[in-house]
């Protein structure tokens, strides 16, 4: 099981919030060449951060950024529909998968399969919630069909998996680097 100090959790929480701010859509701090980190951040928050209030805090951050961009920066409100609420189970799925993986974590190669498996299953469910919710309940498509949704899913889901995989790979490199550095400093003490 993964156990971190309160200080470590605060630092990770700040880094994850900053990552959302920097990569989420067309906001004031957006770096357009970086893929969205939102789904991966919820997974990582579930993995690293124990306080349950972290989940609603990250939801509020995402919602606040979206509303700010629509109302104060003139970004299109195309995605802000009644289906916006489907982001709650989409992000919740990623959060819970991170929580699950935290219980199965070990600093060994044995952790790779549970990590990849939990992130893949959660990513697929999250994509079904967010894209399916938007397609069927967003009011943007007059006659939604399962066939058309399947085609749209095949078109857009790979990008979501790329984004999740990219940010989880970055997080893994950072995690391994800190774990090895911590092990070396303990060995010298």
CB 47 within 8 A of CB 99: yes
The answer to whether the predicted template modeling score (pTM) of the entire model surpasses 0.85 is yes
pLDDT in tens, 161-182: 999 999 999 999 999 999 898 8
pLDDT in tens, 91-123: 999 999 999 999 999 899 999 999 999 999 999
pLDDT in tens, 78-95: 778 889 999 999 999 999
Q: Within the chain, how many helices (H) and strands (E) appear?
A: 6, 0
- CA distances 102 to 13, 17, 77, 168, 170, Å, are 16, 19, 36, 14, 17
Domain boundaries, the chain: 6-188
Angle of helix 54-72 relative to helix 87-104, nearest 10 degrees, comes to 150
């Amino acid at each position: 099981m993964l156990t971190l100090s309160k200080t470590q959790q605060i630092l990770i929480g700040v880094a994850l919030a900053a990552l959302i701010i920097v990569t989420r859509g067309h906001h004031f701090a957006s770096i357009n060449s970086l893929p969205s980190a939102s789904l991966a951040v919820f997974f990582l928050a579930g993995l690293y951060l124990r306080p349950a209030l972290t989940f609603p805090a990250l939801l509020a951050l995402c919602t606040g950024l979206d509303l700010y961009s629509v109302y104060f920066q003139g970004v299109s409100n195309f995605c802000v529909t009644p289906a916006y609420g489907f982001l709650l189970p989409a992000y919740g799925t990623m959060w819970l998968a991170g929580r699950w993986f935290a219980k199965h974590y070990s600093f060994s190669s044995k952790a790779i399969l549970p990590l990849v498996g939990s992130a893949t299953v959660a990513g697929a469910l999250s994509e079904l919630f967010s894209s399916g919710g938007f397609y069927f309940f967003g009011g943007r498509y007059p006659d939604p069909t399962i066939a058309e949704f399947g085609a749209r899913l095949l078109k857009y889901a790979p990008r979501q998996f790329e984004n999740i995989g990219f940010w989880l790979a970055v997080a893994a490199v950072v995690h391994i680097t800190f774990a090895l550095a911590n092990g070396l400093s303990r060995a010298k003490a």
